[in-house]
Amino acid sequence: MNKIDPKEKQALDELRHSAAHLLAAAVLELYPDAKPTIGPAIDDGFYYDFEFSSSISEQDLPKIEKKMREVVKSWSAFTRQQVSADEARQLYANNPYKGELIDELEKSGAEITLYKSGAFTDLCRGGHVEQPAKELRHFKLLSVAGAYWRGDEHNTMLTRIYGTAFPSQIALDEYLSAREEAKLRDHRKLGKEMDLFTFSPLVGSGLPLYTQRGALLRRLLNNYVEEIQSGQDYQQVWTPQIAKADLFKTSGHYDKYKADMFRVVSNYSKEEMYLKPMNCPQHTQIFASKPRSYRELPIRMTDFAMLYRDERPGELNGLARVRSFSQDDCHIFCREDQVDEEIDRALQMTISIMKTFGFSYRYRLSTRDTEHPEKYIGDPKVWDKLEKWAVTIMQRNNIEYYDGPGEAAFYAPKMDLMATDALGREWQLSTVQIDYFMPERFELSYTDTDGTAKRPVMLHRAILGSAERMMMILIEHYAGAFPVWLSPVQVKVLPITDAHSEYAKEVVNKLAVAGVRVELDDRSERLQAKIRDAQLEKIPYMLVVGGKEAAEGTVAVRSRDTKQQTVVELDAFVEQITSEIAERK
């Protein structure tokens, strides 16, 4: 088992948290009336939120960064001072944001500490570098964004300045290079250029609309998973996108998840209902719809129905974070002695699918936050059993994993697959969960061999997770140049002139009959313009046809990756591309 070195992570977090202090100090020197609020380290850098009396933009970042480099020269250390709530309030008498934090610390009985470097003092719990002038050298301010105070849209909109910091210039340069590459691969940009999806303010934020090509891509992903699943006796079901509040009260989602659910009230019955955020509660009701015998188990239900979650407006981000989505959900109802076999089956299926997309990956063991037991349902002893069981499963399958405290679902620990894309970024895709609590809350049962009623175990499993999020990852992973089998359009046929259109149509028909997704570009444009447009659309193959090709029954094949053309017989090309599609290349 390989884990993230906790010492390295802590050192990087301390470096970035120190850089956030430095950012605040520089801002106050340049904008004395600004009000700093909070500035934490985050996964790829740091940020600090401010209230400014006048707006700033990314054009101001070089000036702020220059001031940071001036200020840090006089920072020899971070000095800690513990103070009373009244002393802290006096220091921040003109900053209501810090005042709110001080009130919360006082109410909780926590220590109130200040950290000072140079002339700058900040309210802070600590965690800094020892020699800021020496260690805070390799940083970069990245962007400016709006952010509500405490993430609540009812609060004041603040200005958030993002930055990053690394222990060396080499590491910083590598990160900035990867960031520039990520901009070129941005799925929002490529999705528009490739005509895959759009958003409309009239439809609503976070509600994607898929074009013909985008809908096809979604369908190809779902069909691939369904093809693998159906071959292993997984049975697809379909459930409503809305359910009574009582369902979610029983499952526990009402108490633990209600703030993220869309509430709907009937005009006639006045019943309280919700758009479903996940499929599992409704699947329990399919299981409970008739008596079950041990002979039927395991029952494997898959579901691609739409789901809805009320994400905060500031967190919506293209297809990465949406309000409507679907998952390749599966819920398996089985006996306890069938759990290991079912999970091993799911893990092997996942390995096969990850290989198709070329992802490297590891797993995160997502466990409870033991300091906040109120976040979870069920007996802690059962949680202990399930978390140990998950470790045994991953060790038995020789799976590399690391610990993720606090990442568990409220009803079960999770084995989360973290895939690495072409830019080295990690994304959570597949998940597997062993759930004892949902069957208990819904009083599910089956008749065992001895005629007694037994409680089934419920396994939650997704492979790709959200189709929307998977599309985003794949667009950026492939930079829009999907493998042939996944490309919405696999071939574009380009007649050199109008005189060659008839043969071009014959080529199109032959490819279409063979199951190839093909389009004809018979516009009255120059050939080079047609080639350029096809390349922008990331079409895997372009077939150029003229008089010679028509006479000889050939096509001039040009791939999106090269400027060279190879003349081959049409039948040979059909055989080649259908083979690639079948082999998912």
31 exposure class (CB count in 10 Å sphere: 0-12, 13-18, 19+):
middle
Q: Check if 280 is active-site.
A: yes
Residue 331 annotated in active site: yes
Q: Are strands 541-545 and 491-495 parallel, antiparallel or unpaired?
A: parallel
Question: Could you tell me if 343 and 297 are in contact, meaning their C-beta atoms sit under 8 angstroms apart?
Answer: no
Q: What is the dihedral of CA 252, 257, 261, 264, to 10 degrees?
A: 40
Q: What is the Cα–Cα distance from 139 to 161, expressed in whole angstroms?
A: 13
Decide if 474 contacts 421 (C-beta within 8 A): no
Contact between 152 and 35 under an 8 Å Cβ cutoff? The reply is no
Distance CA(403)–CA(364), nearest Å, equals 6
Q: Which of 329, 416, 421, 435 is catalytic?
A: 329
- Quick check: is 414 catalytic? yes
Among residues 287, 426, 399, which one has the least CA distance to residue 344?
A: 399
- Residue 443 tokens, joined: 């009083």
| Residue from 17, 460, 492, 530 carrying the catalytic annotation | 460
- CA 150, 155, 156, 159 dihedral sign is positive
Q: Which is the catalytic residue, given 331, 492, 517, 538?
A: 331
- Distance CA(345)–CA(323), nearest Å, equals 31
HEC sequence for 230-244? HCCCCEECCCCCEEE
Question: Distances from the Cα of 350 to the Cαs of 342, 353, 464, 465, in angstroms?
Answer: 12, 5, 8, 11
**Distance set, CA 36 to CA 33, 71, 120 (Å):** 10, 17, 12
- CA-CA distance, 36 to 50, in Å (whole number)? 5
Which one of 67, 140, 309, 517 is the catalytic residue? 309
Classified as helix, coil or strand, 417 is strand
Give the span between the Cα atoms of 541 and 484, in whole angstroms.
Answer: 9
Catalytic (active site) residue 490? no
Helix, strand or coil for residue 103? Answer: helix
Annotated catalytic residue, options 414, 469, 477, 558: 414
Which of 67, 128, 213, 327 does the annotation list as catalytic? 327
Q: Mark whether 340 is an active-site residue.
A: no
Q: Using only C-alpha atoms, what is the Rg of the chain?
A: 28
Residue 492 a catalytic site member: no
Backbone angles phi and psi of 360, in degrees to 5: -85, 160
Beta bridge partners of 334: 457
DSSP for 255-283, written as a single string: HHHGGGS-EEE-TTT--EEEE-S-SHHHH
Distance CA 387, CA 266 (A): 41
551 DSSP assignment:
H
Whether residue 372 lies in the annotated active site: no
How many CB atoms within 10 Å of residue 62? 10
Q: Are 24 and 122 in contact (CB under 8 A)?
A: yes
The set of residues, in sequence order, having a beta carbon less than 8 Å from that of 355 and lying 6+ positions away, is none
Active-site residues, by number, are 280, 309, 327, 329, 331, 414, 460
